[in-house]
Structure 1
Amino acid sequence: MPELPEVEALADFLREHATGAVIGRVDVAALSVLKTFDPPITALSGRDVTGAARFGKHLGLDCDGLWLITHLSRAGWMRWQDNPSSTPPKPGKGPLALRVHFFTPEGLTPAFDLTEAGTKKRLAVWVVKDPSDVPGIARLGPDAMVATESEFAEVLAGTTARIKNALVDQSLLAGIGNAYSDEILHTAKLSPFANSSRLTAEQITTLYGTMRSVLTDAIARSVGQDAARLKGEKRSGMRVHARTGLPCPVCGDVVREVWFAERSFQYCATCQTGGKPLADRRMSRLLK
């Protein structure tokens, strides 16, 4: 799933490549992605693109008074095309969900595609007058790159959730997902199962600084990259996430995994839990 650094990079890419262009035709290949009907998606045609922004993990294109907002979810992505097909796509064929055509001041006609892999279709698109009209944006907590340390401490003090769950809860803190929460907790040497409200002041200071440094570094590596390369850039920067069975780059211990619901997370027992493996519900069920 694209998280704060990747969505920030995509917003930066759109600011550079789409701002100043006029929206042409909008092709909808999957009606299920549209979560609003008023204003209609056709209202975007003919509008100037005046900017792009990130709202947590939502990507927004400012179309001179209307916003095209998307949440890429777990398997969605944005692809830029310099020479898109002029033929409207056939609904339900392939991963394409939506295509937005542009006319640039230079006379070019690029487009961007919103695509989604897999069978579980969760990519969502809204056309709204104000980003806060999107329910997911309205519920966002303070942005992880904007929150002060005192705001961060207040967020953690107000929940008894495990720190792993607190970091990915968008209503508490916006922008962090499964991957970067793994990286932040590993760097901060904290157990994913630690109780958020019981962290010491020193641990909160360390965690806050680590969160900012991990995200800042990821943004620096991501911004300026071609949209097609962002996924690879994200994977290359990971130390524990999605590296189950590989050696921890800090201590050499094996990176372990815990499954819950439809997701998994990775951690290093030596660095984060005093050498004690965390309970894995999947393994517990197998052992019964």
Structure 2
Amino acid sequence: MQETRNQDTMMGVRRFGRVNWLGLATLIEREIRRFMNVWSQTIMAPLINAGLFLLIFVIAVGPNRGPVMGVPFVTFIAPGILTMTVIQNAFANTSSSLASAKVQGNIVDTLMPPLSAAELVIGYVSGAVARGLLVALVIAIGVWLLLGIGMQRPLVVLFYVVAGSVFMGGLGLVAGIFANKFDQLAAISNFIVTPLAFLSGTFYSIEAMPEVLQAISHANPFFYVIDGVRFGMLGISDSPPLRGAVIVLASASAVVLLCWSWFRRGYRLKA
């Protein structure tokens, strides 16, 4: 039976069809259940952190802070904090899931079932998107209730949250593949992901930065995700939204293709 399954896979034909829908749905369900089982850490904690960020900036800056791009400062930073929280959680979902499986030695449970490389990537990234959407929804409701900030273009916000979660979910897989222990994963998150998230216009408009730093910011895909969500919520942006959409889609596609290639080869996954 194992030999027949291997032969069918090599020929590109599987007895359950080109797509293992049951296996893919099971993997997605596993990834969603994994973060929902600890919802107080994965859902409530991001909401509390976002609220603390807003509170600290309001207290530190005070009521005398002038408007930014024509809107109050607190209103300006709210979409940035929402997006920063979303992308950090999307990254954490895939990176921790894959790294935990490698460290605990049960990665074989994911690699052995009849799932293709594409199905594995879609399953993991779908979990990241689900977590990103849920975190975005919770924080958006909180921002609306406390600050009265709604969404001028909900579909634009949805697009950037989903595309940004796909991009960060893919980056999380890259980090999980490279990391062989949790210390390495923490280093990637602390020294790469967090600085890029904070230096992407979350708390300020890049128009206020020197030209050199503006150029660096425009090379940072995180900036376009945050800028796109801000455009969808407030109708203001530092760059053309269409350009941002193209860059975010291109970045997400490149990362997902890289993950597919590595899963297909078993790069740093198989002993």
Higher strand residue share: 1
Structure with more relative contact order (C-alpha pairs < 8 Å, separation 6 or more)? 2
Higher helix residue share: 2
TM value normalised by structure 2? 0.28
